A and B are shown apart, each in its own frame.
Chain A
């Protein structure tokens, strides 16, 4: 079964608004990553947060991780129409499975100009 589950499945906002996507997972992890996918294209890595980190920033992206709740959130601030894409969380449980990511179902984000 999928390790990560995103919420909401779809999100529609206006340009300039913030977008928040959530991810829940089931087992202990080594790290959690967020990826973006434009329609019909490959995925692009956005950000990685390790299990001993609680928050990380990269440009307009802010990721939080709560290992006690087994959840993460991705915040995109001041969204732009170009942010329209699907966003996936992916977990790495480490150990002998290090580098093998398990992806969630994704959140489809639509940003209206």
Chain B
């Protein structure tokens, strides 16, 4: 079955610093990949999704960007973090489009 590796688990960054979160997938090929953000005590907001290498769709205007340099690698980036970028970031994948597998998440605190 699919396994998603997401790191780091926790990250504290100053405002204005860059960000790079990486997600890799094992056990499947050509998955759809997603980045979600979860505010404390809230539901998930879809940020980006990708159906293939180099194919990225942005769901909301924001300070973040995503890239997919390899089939099973999905990267979330920012050039300059804002306070409002704080949150719990989750990478997810699917090959059936009917069941998402999630990574364990990265808790980002921007101070």
Contacts and interface: CB of A to CB of B under 8 A. Distances in A.
Contacts, number: 59
Contacts of A100: 34, 46, 49, 59
Interface stretch (B12-20, B61-69, B90-98): B90-98
A106 B98 CA distance: 19
B37 to A, nearest CB: 11
B104 A99 contact: no
Interface residues of A, number: 24
A45 B96 CA distance: 13
Which 9 pairs across A and B sit closest by C-beta, in order of nearness? A99-B97, A42-B102, A103-B44, A103-B43, A105-B43, A43-B102, A45-B99, A42-B104, A42-B105
Interface of B: 4, 6, 32, 34, 36, 42-46, 49, 59, 88, 90, 92, 94, 97-105, 107
Interface of A: 2, 4, 31, 33, 35, 40-45, 48, 88, 90, 92, 98-106
